[in-house]
C-alpha cells in the first residue's frame, strides 16, 4: 500500500521545495503543483508534490496516518484520530443518493 504524506513547504528552490512534517524532511519536485508559498501543505508521494492541501485537509490526513501507526503498533483506540467522523452517521455522496422528486431535473 502506498500513501501520500502531507508535508509543509519550508524552503523554496527553482522547481523544487524542501518540505517537512513530524521531523521528516524531503526535497520535492513541484512541477505538478507549481511554486508554492512557505507554509503551504502539499501531498508528497515518491519525491513529488502531487496536490496542494488546505490546513484542515492536511490535519485530517496526518491524523489518519497517526491512526494507522497506532493500529500497526497493536493499538485499537483510534476514535480520537477521527473526531470529524465519530458520533455521526455516514452519508452517501450526492451522486450516489437515490433519486427523489426534488432532485430530478427536467
Which are the contacts of 26, defined by CB distance < 8 A and separation ≥ 6? 7, 18, 19, 20, 44, 47
Residue 98: predicted pLDDT = 84
Residue 95: predicted pLDDT = 86
Report d(CA 45, CA 102) in Å as an integer: 42
CATH fold, domain 5-76, is SH3 type barrels. (2.30.30)
34-89 confidence digits (pLDDT tens): 999 999 999 999 999 999 999 999 998 888 888 887 778 887 777 776 766 677 78
Q: Identify the burial level of 19 via C-beta atoms within 10 angstroms of its C-beta, where 0-12 means exposed, 13-18 middle and 19 or more buried.
A: buried
Q: Identify the burial level of 40 via C-beta atoms within 10 angstroms of its C-beta, where 0-12 means exposed, 13-18 middle and 19 or more buried.
A: buried
Amino acid at each position: 500500500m502506498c500513501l501520500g504524506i502531507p508535508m509543509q513547504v519550508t524552503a523554496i528552490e527553482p522547481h523544487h521545495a524542501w518540505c517537512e512534517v513530524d521531523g521528516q524532511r524531503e526535497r520535492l519536485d513541484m512541477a505538478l503543483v507549481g511554486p508554492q508559498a512557505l507554509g503551504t501543505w502539499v501531498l508528497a508521494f515518491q519525491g513529488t508534490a502531487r496536490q496542494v492541501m488546505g490546513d484542515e485537509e492536511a490535519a485530517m490526513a496526518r491524523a489518519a496516518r497517526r491512526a494507522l501507526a497506532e493500529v500497526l503498533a497493536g493499538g485499537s483506540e483510534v476514535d480520537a484520530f477521527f473526531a470529524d467522523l465519530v458520533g455521526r452517521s455516514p452519508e452517501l455522496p450526492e451522486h450516489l443518493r437515490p433519486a427523489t422528486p426534488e432532485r430530478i431535473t427536467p
